[in-house]
């Protein structure tokens, strides 16, 4: 399923890659969210969806996690550190299950990603994430909430997908 907004989003990130990297390369997740996520995984395989220039992939690799990233912006991937570039792939997140096998990852990171996706494609994307996530895997999802965002509906969709995934 194709996201009607993706071409625009890709173009924006390709045009602003340098500025985006400069503004986000020192970002730290609030509280202990990220530490809790990686603690639950015990050095297992992790995918960072829309990894940009691979900041979190690099952090995880320094902590000895087998981590990989995908992004829709070739310009952002080109800005990655040469030591991790080989772990980053240009790929559409709505087609994760076309690229990765079922149960491929113990952890998946989607940090401020869902907000960039057409609402009609979001459920498909989340199903794709759960397809590649192991049954006992951990899904790290962060959202940028605004007034028009229906958080309860999103949580319900995620809960339904999780319950569906855990019974397979």
**Predicted pLDDT of residue 103:** 94
pTM over 0.85: no
Q: Is the pLDDT of residue 97 over 60?
A: yes
Q: Are 24 and 147 in contact (CB under 8 A)?
A: no
**Predicted pLDDT of residue 5:** 67
Q: Is the pLDDT of residue 44 over 80?
A: yes
Percent of the chain with pLDDT over 70: 80
**Predicted pLDDT of residue 148:** 43
In angstroms, rounded to a whole number, what is the distance separating the alpha carbons of residues 110 and 101? 18
Q: Are 124 and 156 in contact (CB under 8 A)?
A: no
In angstroms, rounded to a whole number, what is the distance separating the alpha carbons of residues 84 and 140? 21
Mean pLDDT of all residues in 41-45: 84
Coil, helix or strand at residue 37: helix
**Predicted pLDDT of residue 30:** 65
Question: Mean pLDDT over all residues of the chain?
Answer: 80
Cross-sheet strand order for the sheet of 105-111: 88-90, 66-71, 45-49, 105-111, 133-142
Q: Are 109 and 46 in contact (CB under 8 A)?
A: yes
Mean pLDDT of all residues in 57-82: 93
């Amino acid at each position: 399923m194709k996201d009607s907004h993706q071409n625009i989003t890709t173009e924006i990130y390709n045009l602003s890659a340098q500025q985006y990297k400069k503004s986000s390369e020192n970002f730290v997740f609030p509280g202990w969210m990220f530490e809790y996520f990686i603690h639950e995984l015990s050095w297992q395989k992790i995918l960072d969806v829309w990894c940009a220039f691979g900041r979190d992939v690099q952090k995880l690799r320094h902590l000895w996690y087998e981590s990989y990233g995908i992004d829709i912006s070739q310009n952002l991937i080109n800005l990655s550190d040469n030591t991790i570039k080989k772990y980053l792939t240009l790929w559409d997140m709505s087609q994760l299950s076309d690229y990765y096998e079922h149960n491929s990852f113990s952890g998946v990171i989607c940090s401020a990603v869902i907000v960039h996706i057409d609402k009609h494609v979001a459920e498909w994307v989340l199903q794709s994430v759960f397809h590649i996530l192991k049954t006992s895997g951990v899904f790290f999802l962060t959202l940028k909430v605004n007034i028009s965002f229906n958080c309860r509906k999103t949580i319900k969709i995620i809960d339904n997908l999780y319950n569906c995934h855990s019974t397979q």
